[in-house]
Amino acid sequence: MPYDENQDRPTGPRRSRWALAAVAVLVPAVALAGWLVLPGGDDGGDGGRGAAGEPSAPADVTTGPADKPGDPEATSPSPSGTSAGGPLAGRTVVVDPGHNPGNFRHTSEINKLVDIGTNRKECDTTGTASNAGHREADFTLDVSRRLRTLLEKQGARVEFTQDGDRPFGPCVDERARFGNNADADAVISVHADGSAVGNRGFHIILPGRVKSGGADTYRIVGPSRELGERVAEAFRSATGTEPSNYIGGGTGLDVRDDLGGLNLSTVPKVFVECGNMRDPKDAALLASASWRQRAAQGMADGIAGYLRR
């Protein structure tokens, strides 16, 4: 089984959350050489967060190979600010970096169940990791920051559900509310899968038709599918990778009705599974800074195409 809220289908042997946390922290020193470190944050803030004063994420957690000096394509960008008058001026995009690098320190909090409309599920999870210790939570932040820069250059207003600035979470229901409250024109949740070796490629998760409790996706199913189709096409073109060979029947699209982040959304939203971290070939791509930049470009192109339609 994969490891996180957006991956509940049996696609390979499941490892315990505790084992995954150990992989993410106890990486051999030789594997750390030349890798980029992203510090965890703790502002002791609002709902669902741990108490102030919790330790920040350890400085020995790996995120991927260090970017090459002087290579602008492979440089992790910082927020660039919105470009006035760009083609996406007046549009709001919410980017949801999957998981949180600090989740493994807060297992009791992220294991708490939250209402997703159809049932109750875990608040969040640690996410997966590659065999080399490249964590999904670090991957999603890096790609999301690159995506933000690309969208802001086109004039979009970009908001994050989290930016490594909180000790854990947010929970999946809070992530959905964030996009709703922002009245976002599009929401994209960035992830990487944790499936079996040999399972390769990307896929886009679309909301299914759900109307139960606080969940009602009927108004967003159509526009979310259009957003997902645009992103899938652009992602394939930008990265040169193929749609998943194990989910979606070769279309790169997968409809789900069991995900809190989609069920509770009232604005167009999709999840992007960029590849399978447990497959060595996919993991090598996900660890490449230049490939991550292309992945961000593909998402940006797909979102822009959708918003300019």
Looking at the structure of the chain, the number of domains it has is: 1
Question: Domain residues for 205?
Answer: 17-65+88-307
Residue 118 lies in a domain: yes
pLDDT at residue 91 greater than cutoff 80:
yes
Which amino acid is it at 29?
A: A
According to DSSP, residue 78 is labeled P
CB atoms closer than 10 angstroms to residue 13 = 10
CA distances from 89 to 31, 151, 174, 222 (A): 43, 10, 26, 24
Give domain status of residue 83, yes or no.
Answer: no
Q: Is residue 76 a part of any domain in this protein?
A: no
Q: Where are the alpha helices (DSSP H) in 5-79?
A: 17-25, 29-32
Helix (H, G, I), strand (E, B) or coil at 136: helix
What's the mean pLDDT in 258-274?
A: 98
Q: Is the pLDDT of residue 55 over 50?
A: no
Could you read off the pLDDT of 206-228 as tens digits, one per residue? 999 999 999 999 999 999 999 99
Asked if residue 75 belongs to a domain, the reply is no
Q: How many other C-beta atoms are found inside a 10 Å radius of the C-beta of residue 57?
A: 25
Q: What is the mean pLDDT of residues 52-57?
A: 29
* Residue 73, in any domain of the structure: no
Give the closest residue to 94 by CA, choosing from 203, 185, 205.
185
CB 215 within 8 A of CB 264: yes
The proportion of the chain whose per-residue pLDDT surpasses 70, expressed as a percent, equals: 73
Burial of 78 (0-12, 13-18, 19+ CB in 10 A): exposed
At residue 227, the 3 state secondary structure works out as: helix
For 172, the token pair is: 């999946």
Contact of 160 with 188, CB cutoff 8 Å: no
Amino acid at 214: G
Average pLDDT on 219-238 reads 98
| Average pLDDT of the residues in 127-148 | 98
CATH number at residue 170: 3.40.630.40
**pLDDT bucket at 85, cuts 50 / 70 / 90:** confident
CA distance 136 to 140: 6
**What is the average per-residue pLDDT within 39-64?**
30
Is 11 inside a domain boundary?
A: no
Active-site residue, 273 included: yes
In a domain, 189, yes or no: yes
The whole-model pTM stands at 0.78
Write down the catalytic residue from 5, 159, 174, 273. Answer: 273
122: in domain: yes
pLDDT in tens, 148-171: 999 999 999 999 999 999 999 999
The CA-atom distances, in angstroms, between 239 and each of 81, 88, 89, 190, 231 are 25, 23, 26, 15, 12
Q: What is the mean pLDDT of residues 110-131?
A: 97
